[in-house]
Amino acid sequence: MDASMDTERTFGNHGIVPSLGVIYWRTDPPNPDTEALVMYRIFPNVVTGLRLAMAIVVLVLMSCGDAISVTSLYLDTVLVLFVVAMLTDWVDGYLARKLNAISQFGRMLDPFVDKVLICGLFILLSGPEWGGRPSESPAFQNTSGVPAWLATIIVIRELLVSMLRGFGEAGGFDYSARFLGKMKLCTQTGAVVVILLVMGHLADRRWALLIRDAGLLITLAITILSSAPYLKMTASRLWGERRPSG
């Protein structure tokens, strides 16, 4: 028997010779069923990647416009792209469960993309191009209604939960989204939809402005409350680590 056969270990379509540190491509034919399974299982992450691309487009469009110069059609385009992007959040989750393709990478990528889109939009909507001050310029009556302090709280919450989730999952704990976390994302999405609709079509309707402002307050409350489960889980873990054994 060839001596190299004793040291050869194979994985998939690759061979490894540890004694030489060589990785080579095997000559045996690939398994179509295995390759198809791998492609199916990465598909949810591909959908998430598409959502990230759409998020970037939405943020670029919002960065290039302002409350004075944009048209209703411009805002409607941003709205459609935003809604499609958020719908893919449900699609990739459904595919991951259906194909049994839930992975650690996907669990990290999915909330990251959500945070990029939501935090980016609230930061832009609270800025001078979209937030403005109606008392200073009549042209800024068509504003987002998002104060800078509200956007700051939303960003702080997302950074805090990301830190806690990274800390928890590094220790093998399940920090996947809870009910309040999912409700938080729904209210934030709804708030952005209402803001874009009001700026594009209903800026002169007082009832629409009241609905927008009420939605922002509800979004703020749920955003703050949704951090409680993560704080509780982290506190329980820290308490368990410090508690003496025996």
Average pLDDT of the chain, as a whole number: 77
Q: Does the model's pTM come out above 0.85?
A: no
| Confidence at residue 107, expressed as pLDDT on a 0 to 100 scale | 74
| Confidence at residue 197, expressed as pLDDT on a 0 to 100 scale | 94
Amino acid, res. 14: H
61 pLDDT tier (thresholds 50, 70, 90): very high
Round to whole Å and give the CA distance between 150 and 216: 8
| Confidence at residue 38, expressed as pLDDT on a 0 to 100 scale | 52
Which two tokens mark 145? 């209604």
For the chain, helix (H) and strand (E) counts, in that order, are: 8, 3
Round to whole Å and give the CA distance between 83 and 79: 6
Highest mean pLDDT pick, 22-36, 87-101, 112-126: 112-126
Average confidence (pLDDT) over 126-142 = 63
Whether 192 contacts 82, CB under 8 Å? yes
- How far separated are the first and last CA of the chain, in Å rounded? 56
| Confidence at residue 172, expressed as pLDDT on a 0 to 100 scale | 67
Average confidence (pLDDT) over 146-171 = 87
Strands 9-11 and 14-17: antiparallel
| Confidence at residue 41, expressed as pLDDT on a 0 to 100 scale | 67
Greater confidence (87 vs 42) lies with: 87
Listed in sequence order, the residues at least 6 apart from 198 whose beta carbon sits closer than 8 Å to its beta carbon are 145, 205, 208, 209, 211, 212
Round to whole Å and give the CA distance between 143 and 130: 6
56 pLDDT tier (thresholds 50, 70, 90): very high
- Phi, psi values for residue 14, rounded to 5°: -115, 150
Average confidence (pLDDT) over 56-71 = 90
Greater confidence (214 vs 236) lies with: 214
